[in-house]
């Protein structure tokens, strides 16, 4: 299934993605209290055509745990807002310095650096407002805020980004071990994917056993996602990806293909996806969309 796209995932994924897009739009509608330029930059990046992988995981996880997925929509929107903020900041000259994202000029290229920084800050803050206000009951809202703060904060996404940048600037002194690479990715990208599943489980009031099965699925999926991301950077098509390729090798970054070669990376990703699909099937009835999503992650071209 070479080059599969998220739009071709079986029902209910495509319907959920349309619902997520509508809900994200609604959170930015009629915000006359936001400065116009800031609102425009937030909307520009949030609605730029991301795959919506993380919010989709939130809704699918809520559904497989027996909840109406609509109850999890605020959590789904919140994690996409935080993901979008991380991409805006990651593209800045002080970080990865990328002028293309999601097939368009990146936020700072379109709006200037200060507006891009502030649009990222505003999306991060809005995410917590949305969850605290719109998830019921309040104890579940609080649990979701704690989980998402942990995934996005210094112990995970921000910390992983710090160590990734530190490795890049260490040059010859960098720790180029597989352990370091996996530790960076587990925190930088993996935690946001496992937490997407956890948020769905929290909203659904899932059992500890279900949460652990979802976590097992998410850990395998998250690492495979990153390996595929590295492979796309060295072998992908810029026009399909909507961003520049070959950036990792130009910057001498530690990646799975640079450490273990392209073929072994591909095999590792496929093995992880098999584990993820086994974990999804252990969830029982209704897990097929999670299986299909894992297969999409392995075969994606953007």
Does 157 engage in binding with ligand GRG (CB under 6 A)? yes
Separation of alpha carbons 52 and 33, rounded Å? 27
Exposure class string for 177-197: b at 16+ Cβ within 10 A, else e: eeebbebbbbbbbbbbbbbbb
Number of residues binding to ligand GRG, judged by CB under 6 A: 16
Report which secondary-structure segment, H or E, holds 101: strand 100-101
Least gap, CB of 189 to ligand GRG (angstroms): 5
Phi, psi dihedrals of residue 50, rounded to the nearest 5°? -65, 160
Cβ-Cβ contacts under 8 Å for 197 (sequence gap 6 or more): 57, 58, 61, 214, 215, 217, 218
Asked whether the beta carbons of 42 and 123 are under 8 A apart, the reply is yes
Map the footprint of ligand GRG across residues 77-116, applying CB under 6 A: 83, 86-87, 89-90, 95, 102
Build a one-symbol-per-residue string for 49-68: x at contacts with ligand GRG by CB under 6 A, - elsewhere: -xx-x---------------
Least gap, CB of 87 to ligand GRG (angstroms): 6
Map the footprint of ligand GRG across residues 240-299, applying CB under 6 A: none
Map the footprint of ligand GRG across residues 162-201, applying CB under 6 A: 188-189
Q: Residue 5's Cα: distance from chain center in Å? A: 16
- By beta-carbon proximity to ligand GRG, the closer residue of 282 and 299 is 299
The residue from 23, 197, 228, 229 that contacts ligand GRG (CB under 6 A) is: 229
User: Which residues here bind ligand GRG, judged by CB under 6 A?
Assistant: 50-51, 53, 83, 86-87, 89-90, 95, 102, 157-158, 161, 188-189, 229
């Amino acid at each position: 299934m070479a080059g599969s796209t998220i739009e071709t995932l079986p029902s209910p994924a495509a319907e959920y993605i349309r619902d997520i897009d509508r809900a994200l739009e609604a959170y930015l509608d009629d915000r006359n209290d936001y400065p116009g330029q800031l609102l425009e930059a937030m909307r520009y990046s949030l609605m730029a055509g991301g795959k919506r992988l993380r919010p989709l995981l939130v809704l699918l996880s809520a559904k497989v745990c027996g909840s109406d997925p609509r109850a999890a929509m605020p959590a789904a929107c919140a994690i996409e807002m935080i993901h979008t903020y991380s991409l805006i900041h990651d593209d800045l000259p002080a970080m990865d310095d990328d002028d293309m994202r999601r097939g368009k000029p990146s936020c700072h290229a379109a709006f200037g650096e200060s507006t891009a920084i502030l649009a990222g800050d505003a999306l991060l803050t809005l995410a917590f407002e949305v969850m605290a206000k719109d998830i019921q009951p309040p104890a579940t809202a609080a649990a979701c805020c704690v989980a998402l703060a942990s995934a996005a904060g210094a112990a995970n996404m921000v910390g992983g980004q710090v160590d990734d940048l530190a490795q890049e600037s260490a040059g010859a002194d960098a720790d180029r071990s597989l352990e370091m690479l996996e530790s960076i990715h587990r925190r930088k990208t993996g935690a946001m994917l496992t937490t997407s599943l956890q948020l769905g489980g929290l909203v659904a009031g899932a059992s500890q056993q279900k949460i652990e099965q979802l976590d097992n699925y998410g850990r395998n999926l998250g690492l495979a996602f990153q390996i595929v991301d590295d492979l796309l950077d060295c072998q992908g098509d810029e026009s399909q990806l909507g961003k520049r390729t070959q950036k990792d090798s130009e910057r001498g970054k530690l990646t799975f293909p640079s450490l273990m070669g392209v073929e072994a990376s591909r095999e590792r990703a496929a093995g992880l996806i098999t584990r993820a699909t086994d974990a999804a099937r252990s969830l029982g009835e209704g897990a097929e969309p999670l299986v299909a999503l894992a297969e999409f992650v392995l075969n994606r071209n953007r």
